[in-house]
Amino acid sequence: MNLSRGWTRFLRHRLAVLGAGLVLGLVLLSLAAPVLTPYAPNTQNLALRLQPPSAAHWLGTDEFGRDVLARMLYGGRVSMSVGLVAVAIATVIGILLGALAGYFGGWVDQVIMRTVDVVLCIPTLFLILMLIVFLGPNLFNIMVIIGATSWTDLARLVRAEFLTLKHRDYVLAARALGVPDARIIFRHILPNALAPVFVSATFGVAGAILLESGLSFLGLGVQPPYPSWGNILTAGKDYITQAWWLTLAPGLSIFLTVLGYNLLGDGLRDLLDPRLAQDDPHA
pLDDT digits (tens, 9 = 90+) for 224-265: 778 888 888 888 888 888 888 899 999 999 999 999 999 988
Q: For residues 187 and 249, is the Cβ–Cβ distance under 8 A?
A: no
Which amino acid would we find at residue 67? D
pLDDT at 167: 87
Provide CB contacts within 8 A for 168, sequence distance 6+.
none
Angle between helices 14-31 and 245-272 (to 10 degrees): 130
pLDDT at 283: 44
**CATH architecture of residue range(s) 3-37+61-279:** Orthogonal Bundle (1.10)
pTM: 0.86
pLDDT digits (tens, 9 = 90+) for 255-273: 999 999 999 888 888 777 6
At 22, is the secondary structure helix, strand, or coil?
helix
- Give Dmax over CA atoms of the chain in angstroms: 77
- What's the half-sphere exposure (Cβ side, CA atoms, 13 Å) at 192? 16
Classify the C-alpha dihedral 22-27-30-33 as positive or negative.
negative
Domain ranges for the chain: 3-37+61-279
